[in-house]
């Protein structure tokens, strides 16, 4: 215990004549005081420490003159002396072990005719660190250390409340294909990319600008003040250039880009929400127009956004009202012309009763989270039509259903969907068509979903092969029953030596891996003739054989006969055709 000479007398000496019991009590008290975890000091009116227990002595760096080394400690003490009022102060001391924070209560007291200051301090270092952490996590993004959505919103609204007259810009940035990058390289690299991306975006910002990460791969940038559109455009052009340079992360060279939408105050809105919304709309335009660029908001975009909203609404309504049906396209053996399978291709009947092809709504349905329901409707339609399917195409034909890569990797959808396939009673007739992305991205498709489908006997097909992200070598890791070569390789194949080479490579690789090859989109006799003459490919789909067919039209046209099993005795109604086109059935 710190006790300078000439300070308050030793307890024993202060109470002459006390009996042994009092002395021992006092000695205990002294020890208790000494060992208290809280720091306790007594100071005189000059700030000199007359008494300090061990904890206080360790904190205060008391000089030879009895004065504590910490300036603010002295200030608080002086203040308490001056006012004669108790005072609570937060005091922090930095020493070798780091920073310590104390909550100190200073109590002016009068003892034995002397004005003294009694101080006790509790160590709140941990609590303080926790509070700081809470503060940071409430306002700062942990990964990039950037302020979060609340901070930038507050900042912009503050500018507006202050009657801000100088123009400023709000940019909405969204990393392109970030999900792909994340799935392909894994989350650790995805995170590292975001950190590096944030660093590149934040380069050359002024103290009055602010960059904020508002969610996963989205950033909002405030440029304040700005001269006008030209200046902002120039600044963002440089930023886009910086972002385009490859990112080197963990031995990977990653190319990434960002789509940017910009709104200007005051032209494009008078509140944070309005400005952000309009920047978002401009960003959306960039995404649709090829990504990796920037656009300023304008009024035509607003109208576009409203139109898109209408499409969204009508798609939601169509799902709700189950205005979907399937067209079926046969998959044929090109030598025998037997139909070996059919593919269900979904169609939407819009509010005007017009049939829409999936190109107009599948992506939107996926984006809006409606695709799962749509796939369930497709399966329901097949189950409902199974008798007609059997009568038309035979009892043995496989039935292919397209599943978006996003769904394929999602066990929450796929588990119950596999169950539904099993419950049809004929799971072995189904094939699931997924694009190669489902295999190469790191989702649970390969490990978790595939085994379930295999167990119930559902076949797997790789759709649109050659258009996705995987390379030929990736095929070696894929376990599927069938590979469908995308139409882009098949069109005019007889005239394209390079595509012929690729086709041969895919063919021999697939053969080695035991996968059936299907050529998609055969339209002409020349394409078919080439496949027959130059390849061993046996199966194909395409308008040359059949366009997708509506079964109900077929039913309406000709009642099936017992002879029509396994082949089509009557001519089906095909999409985009008027009347019947072919006299022969499916076995041609």
- Sign, CA torsion 367/316/302/160: negative
Report phi then psi at 71, rounded to 5: -60, -50
* Binding characters for Mg ion, 361-400, by CB under 5 A (x = yes): ----------------------------------------
Query: Which residue lies nearer to ligand C2E by CB, 358 or 560?
Result: 358
Judged by CB under 6 A, the stretch of 148-156, 182-190, 282-290, 398-406 that binds ligand C2E is: 398-406
Sheet hosting strand 294-296, strand order edge to edge: 210-215, 218-223, 168-175, 258-265, 294-296
Which residues, numbered 115-144, are part of the site for ligand C2E (CB under 6 A)? none
Report the 10 Å Cβ neighbour count for 65.
10
Q: What's the min distance (Å) between Cβ of 371 and Mg ion? A: 14
Q: What's the min distance (Å) between Cβ of 227 and ligand C2E? A: 48
Query: Which residue lies nearer to ligand C2E by CB, 295 or 549?
Result: 549
Q: How far apart are CA 536 and CA 547, in angstroms?
A: 24
Q: How far apart are CA 364 and CA 123, in angstroms?
A: 57
Which residues, numbered 534-563, are part of the site for ligand C2E (CB under 6 A)? 541-543, 548
Report the 10 Å Cβ neighbour count for 467.
14
Q: How far apart are CA 205 and CA 323, in angstroms?
A: 51
* Binding characters for ligand C2E, 187-226, by CB under 6 A (x = yes): ----------------------------------------
Which residues, numbered 87-116, are part of the site for ligand C2E (CB under 6 A)? none
Considering only 183, 436, 463, 507, the residue that binds Mg ion (CB under 5 A) is 463
Judged by CB under 6 A, the stretch of 5-13, 75-83, 97-105, 355-363 that binds ligand C2E is: 355-363
Contact predicate 233/294, CB 8 Å: yes
* Helix or strand holding residue 259 (H, E): strand 258-265
Q: What's the min distance (Å) between Cβ of 434 and ligand C2E? A: 9
Query: Which residue lies nearer to ligand C2E by CB, 344 or 450?
Result: 344
Considering only 194, 404, 421, 528, the residue that binds ligand C2E (CB under 6 A) is 404
Q: What's the min distance (Å) between Cβ of 545 and ligand C2E? A: 8
Tokens read off for 488: 């882009």
- Look at the block and give the residue holding tokens 């109900």: 552
Which residues, numbered 557-586, are part of the site for Mg ion (CB under 5 A)? none
Long-range contact set of residues 491-497: C-beta below 8 Å, sequence gap at least 24? 491/521, 491/523, 491/527, 492/526, 492/527, 493/527, 493/530, 493/531, 494/526, 494/527, 494/529, 494/530
Query: Which residue lies nearer to Mg ion by CB, 184 or 489?
Result: 489
Q: How far apart are CA 87 and CA 76, in angstroms?
A: 8
Q: Which partner in Mg ion, ligand C2E, none is near 140 (CB below 5 to 8 A by kind)?
A: none
* Binding characters for Mg ion, 510-539, by CB under 5 A (x = yes): ----------x-------------------
Q: What's the min distance (Å) between Cβ of 451 and ligand C2E? A: 22
Q: How far apart are CA 331 and CA 337, in angstroms?
A: 9
Judged by CB under 5 A, the stretch of 9-17, 106-114, 122-130, 426-434 that binds Mg ion is: 426-434
* Binding characters for ligand C2E, 319-338, by CB under 6 A (x = yes): ----------x---------
Number of Cα atoms under 13 Å in the Cβ half of residue 572: 25
The single-letter DSSP state of residue 16 is T
Q: How far apart are CA 125 and CA 438, in angstroms?
A: 50
Considering only 7, 249, 357, 420, the residue that binds ligand C2E (CB under 6 A) is 357
DSSP 84-140: -S-EEEEEEEEETTEEEEEEEEEEEEEETTEEEEEEEEEE-HHHHHHHHHHHHHHHB
Contact predicate 458/428, CB 8 Å: yes
Considering only 402, 470, 499, 574, the residue that binds ligand C2E (CB under 6 A) is 402
Query: Which residue lies nearer to ligand C2E by CB, 301 or 540?
Result: 540
Query: Which residue lies nearer to Mg ion by CB, 263 or 402?
Result: 402
Q: What's the min distance (Å) between Cβ of 344 and Mg ion? A: 9
Which residues, numbered 480-509, are part of the site for ligand C2E (CB under 6 A)? 487
* Helix or strand holding residue 472 (H, E): none
Per CB under 6 A, 359 contacts ligand C2E: yes
Query: Which residue lies nearer to ligand C2E by CB, 70 or 179?
Result: 179
Judged by CB under 5 A, the stretch of 198-206, 251-259, 460-468, 498-506 that binds Mg ion is: 460-468
Per CB under 6 A, 436 contacts ligand C2E: no
* Residues recorded for the chain: 588
* Residue 85: partners with Cβ closer than 8 Å, 6 or more residues away: 108
Contact predicate 57/1, CB 8 Å: yes
Q: What's the min distance (Å) between Cβ of 438 and Mg ion? A: 12
198-215 in b/e burial notation, b at 16+ Cβ within 10 A? bebbbeeeeeebbbbbbe
Which residues, numbered 126-185, are part of the site for Mg ion (CB under 5 A)? none
Query: Which residue lies nearer to ligand C2E by CB, 247 or 543?
Result: 543
Q: What's the min distance (Å) between Cβ of 373 and ligand C2E? A: 11
280-303 in b/e burial notation, b at 16+ Cβ within 10 A? bbbbbbbeeeeebbbbbbbeebee
Considering only 202, 274, 293, 362, the residue that binds ligand C2E (CB under 6 A) is 362
Per CB under 5 A, 433 contacts Mg ion: yes
**Number of residues forming the site for Mg ion (CB under 5 A):** 5
What residue ranges bind Mg ion (CB under 5 A)?
A: 402, 433, 463-464, 520
What residue ranges bind ligand C2E (CB under 6 A)?
A: 329, 345-346, 357-359, 362, 371, 375, 378, 402-404, 433, 463-464, 487, 520-523, 541-543, 548
């Amino acid at each position: 215990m710190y006790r300078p000479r000439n300070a308050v007398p030793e307890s024993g000496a202060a109470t002459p004549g006390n009996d042994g019991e009092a002395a021992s009590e006092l000695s205990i008290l002294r020890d208790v005081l000494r060992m208290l975890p809280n720091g306790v000091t007594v100071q005189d009116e000059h700030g000199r420490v007359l008494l300090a227990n061990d904890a206080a002595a360790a904190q205060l760096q008391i000089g030879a003159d009895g004065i504590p080394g910490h300036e603010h400690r002295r200030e608080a003490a002086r203040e308490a002396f001056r006012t004669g009022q108790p005072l609570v102060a937060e005091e922090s001391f930095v020493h070798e072990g780091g920073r310590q924070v104390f909550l100190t209560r200073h109590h002016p007291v009068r003892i034995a005719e002397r004005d003294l200051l009694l101080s006790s301090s509790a160590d709140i270092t941990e609590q303080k660190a926790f509070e700081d952490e809470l503060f940071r996590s409430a306002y700062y993004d942990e990964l990039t250390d950037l302020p979060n959505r609340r901070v930038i919103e507050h900042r912009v609204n503050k500018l507006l409340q202050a009657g801000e007259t100088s123009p400023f810009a709000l940019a909405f940035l969204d990393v392109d294909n970030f999900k792909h990058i994340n799935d392909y390289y894994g989350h650790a690299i995805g995170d590292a990319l975001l950190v590096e991306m944030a660093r590149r975006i934040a380069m050359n910002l002024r103290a009055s600008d602010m960059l904020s990460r508002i969610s996963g791969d989205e950033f909002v940038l405030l440029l304040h003040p700005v001269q006008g559109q030209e200046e902002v455009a120039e600044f963002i052009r440089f930023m886009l250039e910086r972002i385009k340079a490859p990112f080197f992360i963990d031995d990977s060279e990653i190319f990434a880009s960002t789509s940017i939408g910009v709104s200007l105050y005051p032209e494009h809105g008078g509140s944070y929400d309005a400005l952000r919304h309009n920047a978002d709309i401009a960003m959306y335009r960039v995404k649709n127009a090829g990504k990796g660029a920037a656009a300023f908001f304008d009024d035509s975009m607003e109208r576009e956004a409203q139109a898109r909203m209408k499409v969204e609404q009508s798609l939601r309504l169509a799902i709700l009202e189950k205005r979907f049906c399937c067209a079926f396209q046969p998959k044929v053996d090109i030598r025998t012309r037997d139909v070996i399978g059919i593919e269900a291709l979904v169609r939407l009947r819009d509010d005007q009763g017009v049939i829409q092809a999936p190109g107009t709504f599948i992506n939107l349905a996926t984006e809006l989270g409606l695709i799962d329901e749509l796939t369930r409707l497709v399966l329901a339609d097949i189950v409902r039509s199974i008798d007609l399917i059997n009568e038309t195409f035979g009892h043995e034909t496989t039935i292919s259903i397209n599943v978006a890569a996003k769904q394929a990797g999602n066990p929450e959808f796929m588990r119950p969907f596999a169950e539904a396939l099993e419950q049809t009673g004929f799971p072995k007739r189904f094939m699931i068509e997924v694009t190669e992305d489902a295999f190469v991205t790191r989702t649970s498709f390969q490990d978790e979903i595939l085994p379930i489908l295999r167990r119930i006997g559902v076949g797997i097909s790789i759709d649109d092969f050659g258009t996705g992200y995987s390379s030929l070598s990736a095929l070696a890791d894929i376990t599927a029953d069938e590979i469908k070569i995308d139409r882009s390789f098949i069109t005019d194949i007889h005239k394209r030596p390079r595509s012929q080479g690729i086709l041969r490579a895919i063919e021999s690789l697939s053969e080695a891996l035991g996968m059936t090859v299907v050529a998609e989109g055969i339209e002409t006799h020349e394409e078919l003739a080439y496949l027959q003459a130059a390849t061993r490919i046996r199966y194909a789909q395409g308008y040359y054989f059949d366009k997708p067919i509506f079964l109900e039209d077929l039913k309406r046209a000709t009642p099936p006969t017992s002879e029509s099993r396994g082949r089509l005795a009557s001519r089906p109604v095909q999409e985009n055709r008027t009347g019947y086109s072919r006299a022969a059935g499916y076995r041609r």
